[in-house]
Amino acid sequence: FFFSFFFATTSFAPSPHQKKLVMKIAFTIGAIMAVAPLASAFTVVPNKSIQSVAKQQSSSTARPMFGDFFKNLTGGGGDAENNKNAGGGGFPNLMKKDTTPGESCTGERIAVVGATGYIGKAVVKEGVRRGYKTTAVLRDASKGEKEEKFKGAELKQFDVTDRDACLSGELFPKGSVDIVVSCLASRTGTKKDSYAIDYQATLNCAEAAKAAGARRFILLSAYCVKSAERKDPYALQFQYAKMELEGKLREMSDASFDHVAVRPTAFFKSVSGQLEVVDGGGPFVYFDLGEGKCATCNPISEPDLAAALIDQVADDAHKNGVWNLGGPDDGLSMKDQGVMIHGILKKEGEPKLLGVPIGLFDVIINGLQWVADTFNSEKFDDAAELGRIGKYYAVEDMLTTDPSEKYGRTSLKQHYEYIAENGQEYDPYTTVFGNEDAKKKFAEKKEMVEA
């Protein structure tokens, strides 16, 4: 706990973004140190990295970084005793008769904002694959020129936080676009960041799309927005920002302009960060909710989610509404995932599972909030919100059970099997347990084996 506070106040990082990153890492270290004695029974061997660029993966920041980290440990929440991995999959039969899930193309012009993110890249790639004339909107177009997933797409450099420029027609000139897909999301989930990106920047794009004559705005939202709708006492700032944005889209919709809000449960990469830890001999960590309960989720693969978003161009089933969306699995508890990873990696003996008491969050959150209130500190208020994000994903199920709310063919087990063999792409906002150096070492090791 002390270690967490020490690093949270450290200011040696050379940029504001890196300072935030240091604070998040410090918070994580503090939490782990607080429960370190519980892990003394485990012997950790040197980590044999299994990271490389996974060709299967796509990228977007539809979840705050810290929330995604704790979903690496949790994935949802609630009673998972009877939830087991069922695999299977496919696509719900909800589309219009003349459309085919994963394949249909209307031939219209689509633009993707938030294109450089985790899911955004996959959406651009899927749009091009289907045959759509696809434009990827980037803050810095030069960074997208070498991106493999942008091949076949037009790159447009634009700052969507510039409201005046958006509304002047610079973003989407009149008659230039038919469909806009928004994968914008804040990287932290703090109040200031959430309302600047999840709400205002996304609204800028929606208003610019309507002014340009686009007929539909497709929003990548979040399953957990339901907490803001219910006014849960533990609802988060980014959930309220997304909820208010969805409300604005409903107000804007009319005979010539409509919208669809797709709310995914979780992404594969956001729950698979511990595979490298287990491979290195460490325990699989989960948050213990008491009475044998822990988090449950049915995440969706990045390519499947991208396909579902592009389906909404032709599909009117969710017009001016919300589509809660998970993957094909029936739902896996975090303990189930730990056992699964142990088996996939062919580890000897019993799976090493470390349950961390959920009450740890309250200690850290309350401490950070006390400092924030006492010293009127925005930094510590943000840190407390990050802690609340972590706790949320430890106690809430990210799980869809209705067949109409399941999509795709790739199960979580298939995903783990793939990255155990090929590694997963390092991403500074989601791959918290990995690092760039480990990815390079794995790639070199694989090349030597193949040679």
Quick: pLDDT tens for 372-381. 999 999 999 9
Model confidence pLDDT, tens digit, residues 194-238: 999 999 999 999 999 999 999 999 999 999 999 999 999 999 999
Greater model confidence, 92 or 446: 92
Q: What is the mean pLDDT of residues 164-181?
A: 98
| Residue 413 to residue 415: CA distance in whole angstroms | 5
Q: What is the per-residue pLDDT for 444? A: 60
Q: For residue 209, what are the β-bridge partners?
A: none
pLDDT score for 451: 58
**318-360 pLDDT per residue, tens:** 999 999 999 999 999 999 999 999 999 999 999 999 999 999 9
Would you say 324 and 111 are in contact if contact means Cβ atoms under 8 Å apart? no
Contact yes or no for 100/120 (Cβ under 8 A): no
pLDDT tens digits along 388-435: 999 999 999 999 999 999 999 999 999 999 999 888 876 655 444 445
Asked whether residue 55 carries a pLDDT value surpassing 90, the answer given is no
pLDDT of residue 175: 98
Q: How far is CA 84 from CA 3, 29, 66, 257, 330, in A?
A: 38, 31, 27, 42, 6
261 or 279: whose pLDDT is higher? 261
At 321, phi and psi to the nearest 5? -140, -170
Q: What is the value of pTM for the model shown?
A: 0.78
Average the pLDDT over 91-102 and give the result: 66
pLDDT for position 280: 86
Q: What is the DSSP string of 9-40?
A: T---SSSHHHHHHHHHHHHHHHHHHHTGGGGT
pLDDT above 90: residue 169 = yes
